[in-house]
């Protein structure tokens, strides 16, 4: 096993400042791994028990710090869209092509959007991808209206009173 390398005093101050300004738990733990080794002289199993990590991972953190410096400790946490076919902006542009039809009251067929998406991406995708994209862009399935927008209730009432079927019903009810 190689001997532990000393950490300069300026780096210790920078690490302590960085620890105070850390934005996530994992970033704080990475900084603590290096500080506990530098200040307390702890080995990897002791640091791992304090931080709550595996000793192998602590050694990786030390190695990254020794090779890259403080920048090696500041890494982005996991998260985000790693398997996306299109960026959010590209998805928005694709959906915008169909928005005029939707604004004018037309019915959008998902299969049309699906074909356009596949042309854009260059390979086949399942329909669920399209539905998730539409949900991300704020679209939702809107059911048709329960009645016609040009519906006239007074015309319907007049029809019920004056239709042939209603006159037959009235005639049957008046028989003795």
Predicted confidence at residue 161, as pLDDT, reads 83
Domain spans of the chain, in order of start: 9-72, 88-136
Residue 120: pLDDT band with limits 50, 70, 90: very high
* Per-residue 3-state assignment (H helix, E strand, C coil) for 24-41: CHHHHHHHHHHHHHHHHC
Minimal CA–CA distance to 110: which of 93, 95, 120? 95
What digits encode the pLDDT tens for the residues 32-73?
998 998 888 888 899 999 999 899 999 999 888 888 888 888
Minimal CA–CA distance to 53: which of 79, 34, 38? 34
What digits encode the pLDDT tens for the residues 122-136?
999 999 999 999 999
What digits encode the pLDDT tens for the residues 75-101?
766 777 878 899 999 999 999 988 877
85 vs 150, higher pLDDT = 85
Task: Note the pTM of the prediction, 2 decimals.
Answer: 0.46
Predicted confidence at residue 49, as pLDDT, reads 92
Predicted confidence at residue 175, as pLDDT, reads 57
Average pLDDT, the chain: 84
Torsion of CA 165, 170, 171, 173, to 10 degrees: 130
User: Rounded to whole angstroms, how far apart are CA atoms 24 and 56?
Assistant: 21
User: Rounded to whole angstroms, how far apart are CA atoms 153 and 155?
Assistant: 5
User: Rounded to whole angstroms, how far apart are CA atoms 117 and 112?
Assistant: 9
The tokens for 69 are: 């410096």
Predicted confidence at residue 17, as pLDDT, reads 87
Is residue 95 within 8 Å of residue 134, measured between CB atoms?
yes
Predicted confidence at residue 132, as pLDDT, reads 93
Predicted confidence at residue 2, as pLDDT, reads 58
Predicted confidence at residue 172, as pLDDT, reads 63
């Amino acid at each position: 096993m190689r001997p532990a390398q000393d950490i300069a005093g300026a780096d210790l101050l920078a690490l302590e400042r960085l620890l105070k300004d850390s934005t996530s738990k994992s970033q704080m733990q990475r900084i603590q791994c290096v500080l506990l080794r530098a200040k307390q002289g702890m080995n990897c199993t002791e640091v791992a028990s304090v931080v709550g990590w595996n000793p192998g991972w602590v050694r990786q953190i030390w190695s990254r710090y020794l090779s890259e410096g403080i920048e090696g400790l500041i890494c982005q946490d996991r998260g985000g869209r790693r398997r996306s076919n299109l960026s959010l902006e590209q998805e928005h542009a694709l959906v915008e092509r169909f928005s005029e039809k939707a604004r004018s009251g037309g019915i959008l067929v998902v299969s049309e959007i699906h074909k356009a998406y596949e042309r854009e991406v260059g390979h086949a995708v399942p329909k669920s991808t399209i539905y998730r994209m539409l949900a991300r862009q704020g679209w939702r399935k809107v059911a048709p209206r329960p009645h016609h927008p040009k519906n006239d209730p007074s015309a319907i009432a007049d029809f019920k009173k004056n239709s042939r079927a209603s006159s037959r019903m009235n005639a049957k009810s008046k028989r003795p």
